[in-house]
Amino acid sequence: MHHYRFTCTKCCKNYVPNALNLRCEDCQGTLSVQYKFPTEQMSSFNYGEGISMPIPIPSPSDLVSLGEGNTPVLKLSKISNQLDLEIYAKLEFMNPTGSFKDRGTSMMISALRSMGVSEIVEDSSGNAGASVAAYSSKAEIKAHIFAPSSAPDTKLNQIKVYGSVLHSIDGSRDKTTEAAEAFAKEKKAIYASHNLSPFFIEGTKSFGYEIFNDFGKEIPENIIVPVGNGSLFLGIWKAITELDTQNLIGTKPSLHCIQAVNVNPIASPVPWNISQIAPTIAGGIAVGTPPRKSEVRKVLEESNGFANSVTEESIKEWQINLAKYEGIFCEPTSAAAFAGLENLVNRNRIDKAKRVLIPVTGSGLKDAFPE
């Protein structure tokens, strides 16, 4: 018997966990992990001083790990001075494959391996694919990774080097998802979509537990996240909610969601239509139909966060600013969060007396270099 269940995020129907189960059979809603017991009776990671994070694997020793997490936090002094507020960055590109995805992948691959899965299909803009490829090789799982042919060569080569089968798909990011789903169906293989798998968010939530330690329980009042499907955004909020259930948190932070003007199904100020989609250099957040969109909206509402859209020019500008002023070379998708911060500050959406934390989600070395 599992110590958790899957629950539909829409109609709340419960399911016995199963590697094939990615959506509610009744309403097609996305699924999330719900733990059955109090945290102290559960398989969990220890974050010190009685703080434990429940995990959906039989025991912590079942984790397939490449050393993910425990990323550094830096104060960004020059950018803080420029925008006149206190800004911190958590360097997620220092994870083993160069992006925050390793947190989610480690948990997803561990859970699937503990269920006896030996072959998977995944689709990605590049970073998650590289991450799934790496953890699959460690777990001795055969991985088919679908990625847009327009993804940077560095990411596509990274997927291949770990020994996965790369399926390069022409067209949009959404076309890649369709191709992966069709392949998994045809081959009767496990579709381990990091966007749909309830296990992925159980891994990304470690970010939230870490910042609780990084800041001595005084979590910054604002967290700004670049959002495509929302796996990091939702993982952080799940951590905050779990810490709150354990009565460990005072004031909960506001979570703000940043998207590119060219692909903003969540942040668009007018009703969004997929035909509005346009190319963006922020490939990681170029997701026209995010399956967890209503979950992201709910967190924005609960946390009093804002959704904001950023232009291509501002993304480029902030990628360079971060490198030039702070010595941080991130990919354009990650820079989008900083462009969003500038917008929110200019529109007085953020109180300058409060602190801001931004995950620097991916490495500049894996994407096209700024011109």
Ligand X SMILES: Cc1ncc(COP(=O)(O)O)c(C=O)c1O
Tell me if residue 106 falls in helix, strand or coil: helix
Interacting partner of 333 out of Zn ion, ligand X, none (Cβ under 5 to 8 A depending on kind): ligand X
Q: And the tokens for 134?
A: 């790496």
Interacting partner of 24 out of ligand X, Zn ion, none (Cβ under 5 to 8 A depending on kind): Zn ion
Listed in sequence order, the DSSP H helices in 144-255 are 153-161, 173-187, 198-204, 206-214, 231-245
Q: Does 23 bind Zn ion (CB under 5 A)?
A: no
Q: Does 24 bind Zn ion (CB under 5 A)?
A: yes
Q: Does 203 bind ligand X (CB under 6 A)?
A: no
Beta carbon nearer to Zn ion, 33 or 330? 33
**What are φ and ψ of residue 345, in 5° steps?**
-65, -45
Q: How far apart are CA 161 and CA 355, in angstroms?
A: 40
Length of the chain: 371
Q: Does 176 bind ligand X (CB under 6 A)?
A: no
* Secondary structure percentages of the chain, helix, strand, coil, to 5: 40, 20, 40
Q: Does 98 bind ligand X (CB under 6 A)?
A: no
Q: How far is the CB of 307 from ligand X (least distance, A)?
A: 12
Q: Does 365 bind Zn ion (CB under 5 A)?
A: no
Angle between helices 153-161 and 127-139 (to 10 degrees): 10
Q: Does 117 bind ligand X (CB under 6 A)?
A: no
Structure-token match 């499907």, residue found? 229
Q: How far is the CB of 80 from ligand X (least distance, A)?
A: 22
Angle between helices 293-302 and 231-245 (to 10 degrees): 50
Judge contact between 166 and 160, C-beta under 8 A: yes
Beta carbon nearer to ligand X, 43 or 231? 231
Q: Does 232 bind ligand X (CB under 6 A)?
A: yes
Q: Out of 27, 182, 274, 278, which residue is the one contacting Zn ion (CB under 5 A)? A: 27
Q: Does 227 bind ligand X (CB under 6 A)?
A: yes
Q: How far is the CB of 195 from Zn ion (least distance, A)?
A: 17
Q: Does 331 bind ligand X (CB under 6 A)?
A: yes
Q: Does 121 bind ligand X (CB under 6 A)?
A: no
Judge contact between 310 and 262, C-beta under 8 A: no
Residues near Zn ion, by CB under 5 A:
8, 10-11, 13, 24, 26-27, 29
Residues near ligand X, by CB under 6 A:
99, 125, 127-128, 226-233, 284-285, 287, 331, 333-334, 361-362
